[in-house]
Amino acid sequence: MIENAHIVRINVDGQERMTRLKTMLHVPGNRLGLITSIDGSQLVTLLLDTNTGRSTVWETPLSSDVYPSLTMMIPQCHWFERSTWDMFGLKPNGHPRLKHNLLHEPYDASLFPLKTDHEVESHDTDRFYKCLEVRGQGVYEIPVGPIHAGIIEPGHFRFSCLGEVILNLEIRLGYVHRGVEKRIVEVPLSRMRFVAESAAGDMIAANALAHAVAVESCLQIEESPRARAFRTISLELERIAMHVSDLGGLAGDIGFAAVSTSMAILRGDVLGCAELLTGTRFQKGFIAPGGISREPSDKNLSQLRTNLKKIQLKLKPIVDFLFSNQVARDRMTNVGILTPKLAADFGVVGVAGRASGIAYDARKSFVHGCFPRQNMVLPVQQAGDVLSRAKVRAEELRSSLEIIYEILETLPGGDTAGAHHDLRSLNRFKFKTNDCGIGIVESFRGELIHLFFTDGDGKIIRYAIKDPSVNNWTALAIAVRNNLLSDFPLCNKSFGLSYSGHDL
C-alpha cells in the first residue's frame, strides 16, 4: 500500500472488486472516478470520496485478457470498459454492448496502443461497428455526422425516429482520437503540460491545472499562495467564458439572435480578461507544475477587475432577457429531461449533474487552486431539463465572478513560481518509484481527472485523462429519448460536451 497526500493505492483482487465496488458506490459521497489499466496486466479502478477529498486507486492484477464486466450491475462502467478494451485489449466479458469507442475500422485489429506488458493477441478479425437497430412499423434512421454543418468537432449521431420523435440515439465518437495519452508519457516532464492542456481546446486552464496538481501531488511540492490565487482566477475565467458561450449557444439554437450575439460579444470580452491575466486569450501555457509561468502586471490586474465589473453589468440584462422570454422558456422547459435516478446511475458530472439533483462539484471536495471551499452553495436543480442546465450555468456565472473578486481583494504577495522557481528545471525532479499522482479539477464541464503512474525507475508510464464528457455523453443519448428530433440540437448544446476531450 502506497500513500501520499491525496491518494491511496491498494491491491484488490477480481472477486473482491466486483462485490466491493457496488457497496462502495452506495455510500453517499462516493464516486467512481475512472476504470482503466496501467500496462494491460491489471485493472485500475479509481474511487473518489467527495466528502473527504481522498482518492483510492484499486489495482486488480489480471491473469488473462478477459475479465468479468461490471456494466450490468454498475451502468456507469460501460464506457470505461469499452475504452479500456480499445486501448489495452482487455475484454469485459458480459458487456451488453461492447463496441469500439476510439479506434475505428481503419486501425489494425491487433493494435492496442497502450498495452506494453506482453505480446498482444487479438480477439477480433476486424473492427466492425454496428449501430443498435430499432425495428417496428414506421421507424426510420437518420445518420448525422461525423462532419457537421457548424465549425465543431466530428461525431456520429444515429437517430432512430418515429415521425418527429426520437426513439433511440446512438453516439459514435473517436473521430479525433490522436493518441494524447500515449504521447504525453513520451515527452519530458517540462513539456508534458503542453500536451496535457491540448487535451481539449476549450478546457486549457482546467487541463493545465489538473496536470499541475497531479505532478505536484506526486512530487509533494506546493505552489505559492500567489500562484494559487492566479490559477484559480484563470480557471474561473475559463468557466465564465464558456458558460457565457454556452448560454449564447442555447439562445442561438432556438433562433434567439439578440441574446446569442450579445453573448458572443461578451465571451470575447471575457477572453480579453484572460489575456490580461495570462497573455493569451485561451490561457495556453499559463499554469505550470510548481506555479504559473507568467506574473501579470498590477496594471493588468486592476484593468482585469474593471473589465469584469463591466462584463457583469452587461451580463445581467442579457441573462434576464433570455430567462424572461416566454417562448424561450417554453422551448427549454421539459425538454431533454435527465432524471436524477439516471444521472446518478451514469455518474453524470458538472452542470448536467447539478441540474439533475446531483450536488457534486469538485470545487467543494478536491484540492486545486484555492479549492476546496466547503462552504460553496451549489445551484442544484431537480427538473433535469434544458432550462435547469441553463439556470445552473447562469448561477455559476455569478458565483465565479464573486470568487474572482474575492481573490483579487485578498491577493497574497510573494513569488509566483513557488519554491521551485525555475520551471525549466522541472526535469531535475525525480518521481518516487511505483507511485501515482492525481489531479481532480472542476472544469466548466465538470469533474476532470488526471491520474498517472510511475514505474520502477520513477518514470511516468501511464497518464490517464478523464474528461467530464466521458461521463456525460451517455446521459445526452438517454436524455433525448422521446424528445422531438428538432429539439436535439438544443439538448446537445445544453450538455455542451467535448469531442476531443473524450477522444484524446
Chain contacts with other proteins (rule: CB under 8 A) = 140-144, 149-150, 164, 253-258, 261-262, 265, 325, 327-328, 330-331, 335, 484-489
How many other CB atoms are found less than 10 A from the CB of residue 44?
21
C-beta of residue 195 within 8 angstroms of C-beta of residue 187 = yes
Q: 256 or 453, CB closer to other proteins?
A: 256
Q: Torsion angle of alpha carbons 130, 132, 134, 139, nearest 10°? A: -60
Q: 73 or 485, CB closer to other proteins?
A: 485
C-beta of residue 218 within 8 angstroms of C-beta of residue 463 = no
Q: How far is the CB of 261 from other proteins (least distance, A)?
A: 4
Beta bridge partners of 449: 440, 466
Q: 74 or 250, CB closer to other proteins?
A: 250
| φ and ψ at residue 313, rounded to 5 degrees | -65, -40
Q: How far is the CB of 147 from other proteins (least distance, A)?
A: 11
Q: 487 or 503, CB closer to other proteins?
A: 487
Q: 117 or 164, CB closer to other proteins?
A: 164
C-beta of residue 407 within 8 angstroms of C-beta of residue 277 = no
Q: 142 or 411, CB closer to other proteins?
A: 142
Q: What is the DSSP letter of 254?
A: T
Q: Which residues of 272-307 are buried (b: 16+ CB within 10 A; e: fewer)?
A: ebbbbbbeeebbbbbbbbbbbbeebeeebeebbbeb
Q: How far is the CB of 150 from other proteins (least distance, A)?
A: 5
Q: 5 or 152, CB closer to other proteins?
A: 152
Q: 87 or 322, CB closer to other proteins?
A: 322
Q: How far is the CB of 161 from other proteins (least distance, A)?
A: 8
Q: Which H helix or E strand runs over 331?
A: helix 326-332
Compute the distance between CA of residue 350 and CA of residue 178 in angstroms, rounded to an integer.
25
Q: How far is the CB of 140 from other proteins (least distance, A)?
A: 7
DSSP per position, 143-163: EE-SS-SSS----EEEEEEET
Amino acid at 456: G
Compute the distance between CA of residue 9 and CA of residue 436 in angstroms, rounded to an integer.
8
- Looking only at the bridges linking them, the beta strands covering 91-93 and 66-68 are parallel
Q: 128 or 140, CB closer to other proteins?
A: 140
Q: 62 or 484, CB closer to other proteins?
A: 484
Q: How far is the CB of 463 from other proteins (least distance, A)?
A: 36
Q: How far is the CB of 314 from other proteins (least distance, A)?
A: 12
Compute the distance between CA of residue 130 and CA of residue 99 in angstroms, rounded to an integer.
8
Beta bridge partners of 54: 49
C-beta of residue 404 within 8 angstroms of C-beta of residue 233 = yes
Nearest to 260 by CA among 281, 245, 272: 245
Q: 258 or 377, CB closer to other proteins?
A: 258
Q: How far is the CB of 99 from other proteins (least distance, A)?
A: 22
Greatest extent of the chain over all pairs of C-alpha atoms, in Å: 71
Q: How far is the CB of 397 from other proteins (least distance, A)?
A: 21
Q: Which residues of 314-343 are buried (b: 16+ CB within 10 A; e: fewer)?
A: ebeebbeebbebeebeebbeebbbbebebb
Q: How far is the CB of 483 from other proteins (least distance, A)?
A: 10
Q: 103 or 254, CB closer to other proteins?
A: 254
Q: How far is the CB of 204 from other proteins (least distance, A)?
A: 25
Q: How far is the CB of 141 from other proteins (least distance, A)?
A: 7
Nearest to 240 by CA among 277, 270, 265: 270
Nearest to 45 by CA among 12, 89, 73: 12
